[in-house]
Structure formats: structure tokens, C-alpha cells
Amino acid sequence: MSKSDQSSVQDIVVVGGGPSGRIAAIGLAQLGLSVSLVAPVPNAPDGRTTALWQQSISFLERIGVWDELSQSTAPLAKMRMIDDTGGLIRAPEVVFDSSDLQLNEFGFNILNDKLNAALEEKCCAEDTLTVIPEHAVSIETSSEHVHIRTASGGSLRARLAVAADGRKSMLREAAGIEVKTWTYPQVAVVLNVEHRLSHNSISTEFHTKTGPFTLVPLPGNMSSIVCVETEEGASRLCAMEPDALAMELERRAHSILGSFKLASNVKSFPLSGMNAHRLVGERIALIGEAAHVFPPIGAQGLNLSLRDIIDLTAVVESARLRNTDPGGNAILQHYEKKRTRDIATRTNAVDILNRSLLTPFLPVQAARGLGLYVVDRIAPLKRFLMREGMAPASGFRRPG
């Protein structure tokens, strides 16, 4: 589509071409606002997968994306946690079953390439969304609007800028928003495998001494694997020949899915975390990894980002209905207030679980084991945690 008229001021500009940026742009454009998406076209395949919970799926249905994706997904009906640390004190195996919440599944797992393609197509189909396939290179803010320049020298002005430009966000830095960062002595090795036995829509997470080893269903007899290892262990896995790696992964999975065959390239990345000290600046709102980053544990990453988008869309829609400025300070403060607790809670929970696997300190191992034992034995608590895992503040609601 064509670039925005440089002399006009539109309602919103979204910067960032990942799933968060594209979903936000679609949702905001469907409010009837003028929206531009500044996002280069992805130039590399992404063989990773994303597990989406019901709240995220409901939003994708609402913006008209899910129907095209649903045939390329695998349901996640059960989630199994197994203590494979080999420690003196071991937690019991715990199985979370969606049927306990009167649901057919907690959510679905999908290849990122499928999700990205559907979102790109939907962006191009939205009448009130202008797609600018470039990088944003600078932003200036004032009391009235933001002014963004693109790599080709183009510019556009808007009343609100949505920063979806990742953990090294240019918009966040321009707004002077500081971040807290931390690292883990771990590397995630990710790939997809074919296997002989059916996964039966069960996602299995082995808790090991180096971090989670997770098998997440894909369509057919396929699963995605996230293996959290030490830097040395990850390097060793990535250097293996495909057949040897398949056998090693099958061993770590205790052959619960039978023999493995690699179905994608192997990728790895170091684990780290980041939280922005603030979620808003002058006419700027942060979403996704511009606001928060944490390890791929419990499938919380994109689902947390979707909740950013859901809340931002809600406060912007409220401004539209009242005919007020979507980038005004009151609207942005409302968005930040809605998001702060959810982000802090999820970040802390993932951090505590991950660090508890790395410590040899027996009291910590005992506390983790006792906690899982209690969860497994007290059905109302288990249902509460399942609902909270999918959506915050939903734990005490009756399943509908």
C-alpha cells in the first residue's frame, strides 16, 4: 500500500513486524481508526512454534485471523509436568486436563511461519491499515503527535505510536524508558521432530537439572521441542549429526513418543529477561517484547503480548467512543495500570520456576516438590491455577 500523506496526522502508527505488531495493527484498524504499520517483510523462515491459549485465540477470531489458521494447529488438551532432575527430593508427576475446566483444550500450537503468513495477508486486506514495509529509523514526540521517519526517508505523523519493535526497541529508547535486564546460565535449543507414537494432544514438560525439556504437539505425529541446556550442553547438541541428535532427544523424552526424526533445522538462543520500568512515554505505548522478555517456559510469551494488545485496544476504543485523543496521557496511564500487575506476576512466576530447577539447595527442591504435590491433590486449587495460567484474574470464575 502507499505511504501515508506526510502532511496529515493519522490516529495510530504501529512499529514492528512480528506477530505482536501485526495483530495490534489489525485490531486497532478494525476500530475504524486510521492506522499505519511500519514493518519490513520477514526475510527468513521461522521454524519455531507458538502455543496460544483460549483468550488469545478469541482475539484472533475477533479480528478474523483464526479461521484460516485453525486447520494448521494442534490442540493442547493436557499438560503434563514430570520431575526429571534426578534430585534427592523429586516432585510428583502432575497432569493438567482441560476437561476439568469443561474445555476441549487449553489452546493450540502453531508454526510461527503459518501465523506470520496469515497475519501479513490480513494486514494487507484491512481498508484502514496502511502497511509500510520498511524499518523505522527515528521518532520525535511532542504534546500533539509523534513524527516517525523510515529508512527510505519517508515520514508520518500520528497521535499515538505503538512500540512493537522488540527487545531492542528504538521507540522505547527514544522515549527514555529504562529497563531491567537479567541473564540465565542457559541456552534454549529449539526444533521440530516427527515421532512414531501419537502425542494424543498432550504437552509434556520434563523438569531437568539444566531447565525444562518440553514436547509440544503439532499436527499429525509431530511435536516442537524446547530443550533448555547449559551453554556447553547446547553447543554439544547443536553439533550432533541429525540421527544422533534424534536419538539423544528420544532418550531425554524417555521414548514416550517412540523414535524421533528431525523435521526442522536446529536453532539455539541464550535465555535472558527484561522488564521496562514504564509501559508508556509521551504518546508511546509499549507492547510485546518492547515491554517484557522472559524464557520460553509455560507458553506465556506471545500470550502475555496478546493481553497487552487486548488491553490497549480496549482503552483506545474507549477513547474513540468518547471522541478523545487515543494518545492522550489519561488513556496511556489507563493502559499502563491495566498491564502492570499481569506482567509482573508472569515474569516472577517464570523466573522462580526456572531458577528453582537450577539450584542444588535441598530446601528449594523440597518446596517445589511440595508445591506440585499440593496442586495435584487439591482439585479446586488445580482448577484455579489452570484458569490463571490461561488468563489472569479468571481463576475464580466458573467455567462456561
* Structure confidence by residue, pLDDT tens digits, 306-340: 999 999 999 999 999 999 999 999 999 999 999 99
Q: Is 362 part of any domain?
A: no
Q: Is 372 part of any domain?
A: no
Residues 279 and 332 in one domain: yes
Give the per-residue SS3 of the chain.
CCCCCCCCEEEEEEECCCHHHHHHHHHHHCCCCCEEEECCCCCCCCCCEEEEEHHHHHHHHHCCCHHHHHHHEEEECEEEEEECCCCCCCCCCEEEEHHHHCCCCCEEEEEHHHHHHHHHHHHHHCCCEEEECCCEEEEEECCCCEEEEECCCCEEEEEEEEECCCCCCHHHHHCCCCEEEEEEEEEEEEEEEEECCCCCCEEEEEEECCEEEEEEEECCCEEEEEEEECHHHHHHHHCCCHHHHHHHHHHHCCCCCCCEEECCCCEEEEEEEEEECCCEECCEEECHHHCEECCCCCCCHHHHHHHHHHHHHHHHHHHHHCCCCCCCHHHHHHHHHHHHHHHHHHHHHHHHHHHHHHCCCHHHHHHHHHHHHHHHHCHHHHHHHHHHHHCCCCCCCCCC
Q: Which three cell numbers stand for residue 68?
A: 484460516
Q: Tell me, what CATH number does 253's domain have?
A: 3.30.9.10
Q: What is the phi/psi pair of residue 60, to 5°?
A: -65, -35
Q: Is 382 part of any domain?
A: no
Residues 228 and 141 in one domain: no
Residues 237 and 197 in one domain: yes
Residues 236 and 116 in one domain: no
Residues 176 and 197 in one domain: no
Q: Is 19 part of any domain?
A: yes
Q: First CA to last CA across the chain, in angstroms?
A: 42
Contact 25, 276 (CB under 8 A): no
What's the pLDDT at 233? 97
Q: Tell me, what CATH number does 306's domain have?
A: 3.50.50.60
pLDDT in tens, 194-232: 999 999 999 999 988 898 899 999 999 999 999 999 999
Residues 15 and 138 in one domain: yes
What Rg value do the Cα atoms of the chain yield, rounded? Answer: 22
**What CA–CA distance (Å, rounded) separates 300 from 60?**
16
Instruction: Count the domains in the chain.
Output: 2
Q: Is 2 part of any domain?
A: no
What's the pLDDT at 363? 46
Contact 227, 267 (CB under 8 A): no
Residues 81 and 230 in one domain: yes
What's the pLDDT at 301? 76
Domain edge (last residue) among 247, 271, 295? 271
What's the pLDDT at 392? 66
Angle between the N-to-C axes of helices 112-125 and 19-29, in degrees from 0 to 180, rounded to the nearest 10: 30
Contact 187, 225 (CB under 8 A): no
What is the domain extent for residue 250? 75-111+184-271
Residues 119 and 252 in one domain: no
Q: Based on the number of CB atoms within 10 Å of its own CB, is 18 exposed (0-12), middle (13-18) or buried (19 or more)?
A: buried
What's the pLDDT at 299? 63
**Over its length of 400 residues, how does the chain's per-residue pLDDT go in tens digits?**
333 444 589 999 999 989 999 999 999 999 999 999 999 887 767 778 899 998 999 999 999 999 888 888 999 999 998 988 876 666 678 888 999 888 899 999 999 999 999 999 999 999 999 999 999 999 999 999 999 999 999 999 999 999 999 999 999 999 999 999 999 899 999 999 999 999 999 999 998 889 889 999 999 999 999 999 999 999 999 999 999 999 999 999 999 999 999 999 999 999 999 999 999 999 999 999 999 998 776 667 789 999 999 999 999 999 999 999 999 999 999 999 999 999 998 888 777 777 666 555 444 455 555 566 566 666 776 676 667 666 665 543 443 3
Residues 306 and 353 in one domain: yes
Q: Is 381 part of any domain?
A: no
Residues 123 and 100 in one domain: no
Residues 147 and 295 in one domain: yes
Domain edge (last residue) among 321, 342, 357? 357
Q: Is 395 part of any domain?
A: no
Residues 281 and 149 in one domain: yes
Domain edge (last residue) among 221, 237, 271? 271
What's the pLDDT at 294? 82
What's the pLDDT at 350? 78
Q: Is 392 part of any domain?
A: no
β-pair type (155-163, 146-150): antiparallel
